[in-house]
């Protein structure tokens, strides 16, 4: 299997199919999401053994919404969506 890396719009896209019109990224790396101190404290309410998965889900929720910083409000919105 061949892997191809594409750079564009400040993101790195990794794909296993390099045909232009059929290009489908399978992995997207973008700028890291920052967390406010309050949102980080709220994250500690989640049991430690599921916290990494919850953090990832919240960050993906924020990326999809075009948000670059997790605040308490964003945390609550994600919590409502996933509960």
Domain segments of the chain: what residues? 1-30, 31-83
Pairing, β 11-15 against β 27-29: antiparallel
pLDDT at 24: 55
**Residue pLDDT, tens place only, 21-68:** 555 554 455 668 999 999 999 999 999 999 999 999 999 999 888 899
72 vs 17 pLDDT, higher one: 72
- End-to-end CA separation in angstroms for the chain: 38
Which whole number is the average pLDDT over 6-32? 54
pLDDT at 42: 96
State both tokens at 14: 């990794």
CATH for the stretch 31-83: 1.10.8.550
pLDDT at 69: 95
15 vs 59 pLDDT, higher one: 59
Q: In 3-state terms, what secondary structure has residue 43?
A: helix
**Residue 55 and residue 78 in contact, taking contact as beta carbons nearer than 8 Å:** no
């Amino acid at each position: 299997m061949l892997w191809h890396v594409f750079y564009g719009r400040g993101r790195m896209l990794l794909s296993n199919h390099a045909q232009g019109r059929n290009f489908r990224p399978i992995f997207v790396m973008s700028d890291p999401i920052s967390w406010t101190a309050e949102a980080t404290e709220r994250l500690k309410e989640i049991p430690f053994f599921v916290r990494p998965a919850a953090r990832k889900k919240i960050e993906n929720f924020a990326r999809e919404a075009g948000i670059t910083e997790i605040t308490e409000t964003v945390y609550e919105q994600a919590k409502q969506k996933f509960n």
